[in-house]
Amino acid sequence: MTARTTVITITHNGGLVIGGLLKSLPADLPLIVIDNASEDDTLDIVTNLRPDAKIIRNRVGLGYGTAASQGLEIVETEFALLANPDSLMTGDAIDALVAAADQYPDAAMFGPLHKDGNGDIEPSHDVELWKRRDYGRLAYDCVPEGPLCVEFLSGAVNLVRMDVMRQVGFYDPEIFLYFDDDDMCARMLRAGHGMILVADSVVMHLNGGSVRPNRAYYWEKFWHLAWSRIYFERKYNGRLAAICLGLKHTVRFGWKALLYGITMQRKKGWRDLARFFGSLGALIGVRASKQPRATQR
């Protein structure tokens, strides 16, 4: 059954974790690795463990979505499994996802139940972004008894139906990091395609190890979190809504950065300063993508 699926993983300095993912995959699955300018031994590990893997080497980091689209472009199987390098497949996790896809042909995306390194359930599904404040925090300690229709699936690990992906379009090239999975799920919903959490499929998500946790990374992370949130707002709710949210965030994060700076809470101050500039950048039209503007598929 798994021969119908190609695995895609995007790496960036993921040498600490990529070996675990590769060892957890069935050896007969086609594998595509898109590397975003790693400077460690990531690709050495890939070639040693999976010499059959197709590798795309990007000289500069292109972000998650653009790299994922590079992999999706060359998939020849019915399904693609997008998996972060810090994830581990357990048991028959992939077979369970494919079985659900066969059982529910009207759905296009299927996500496993996520557990962290301690075995605790990790959030991997939700309602659409706009509804989350009304719903509050979901009870993630409650395991569904069977397949669950959802409005959002985490991009950490999911199985997608390739004919639908080609119809809906691959990842938005303007989003460098964060909210790319929200955007994909929103487009799936608007195109009339369902998404299902498959409780019989379980993966471990180790949360980290695929980048270097330094000061520059910390800035990049929170800059893109802020930028992508404003971009997402504009894409679905229009320019005025994005301006209102952007102004709110620049004031909020600007004041927080200042207060944290005064009180010598440097890490929090650096975080919110990055959020301030990310929000401001989105407001004034700074692009996050490192690619030339292109028409999305």
The CATH number of residue 46's host domain is: 3.90.550.10
CA distances from 45 to 13, 15, 72 (A): 11, 7, 22
Q: DSSP code of 105?
A: T
* Mean pLDDT over the full length of the chain: 91
Residues 42 and 182 in one domain: yes
Backbone φ, ψ for residue 187 (5° rounding): -70, -35
Give the residue-averaged pLDDT of 212-234: 91
Residues 105 and 193: their CA atoms lie apart, in Å, by 10
- Residue 289 domain flag: no
Residues 45 and 143 in one domain: yes
- For residue range 24-83, what is the model confidence (pLDDT) as tens digits? 999 999 999 999 999 999 999 999 999 999 999 999 999 999 999 999 999 999 999 999
Residues 89 and 196 in one domain: yes
Residue 15 confidence (pLDDT) above 90: yes
The model's confidence at residue 129, banded by pLDDT at 50, 70 and 90, is confident
Q: Which of 156, 134, 229, 152 is nearest to 189 (CA)?
A: 152
- Residue 294 domain flag: no
Q: What angle do CA 119, 116, 11 make, to 5 degrees?
A: 145
| Domain span at 177 | 2-205
- Residue 96 domain flag: yes
What's the whole-model pTM score? 0.92
- For residue range 260-287, what is the model confidence (pLDDT) as tens digits? 999 999 999 999 999 999 999 999 999 9
Task: Kindly calculate the radius of gyration of the chain based on its CA atoms and give it in whole angstroms.
Answer: 19
Residues 42 and 126 in one domain: yes
- pLDDT above 90 coverage of the chain, percent: 80
The last residue of one of the domains, among 184, 205, 226, is: 205
Residues 127 and 192 in one domain: yes
Residue found under tokens 């487009």: 187
Q: Which of 171, 281, 291 is nearest to 220 (CA)?
A: 281
Q: Which of 165, 156, 11, 182 is nearest to 75 (CA)?
A: 165
Query: What angle, rounded to 10 degrees, do the helices at 180-190 and 215-237 form?
Result: 20
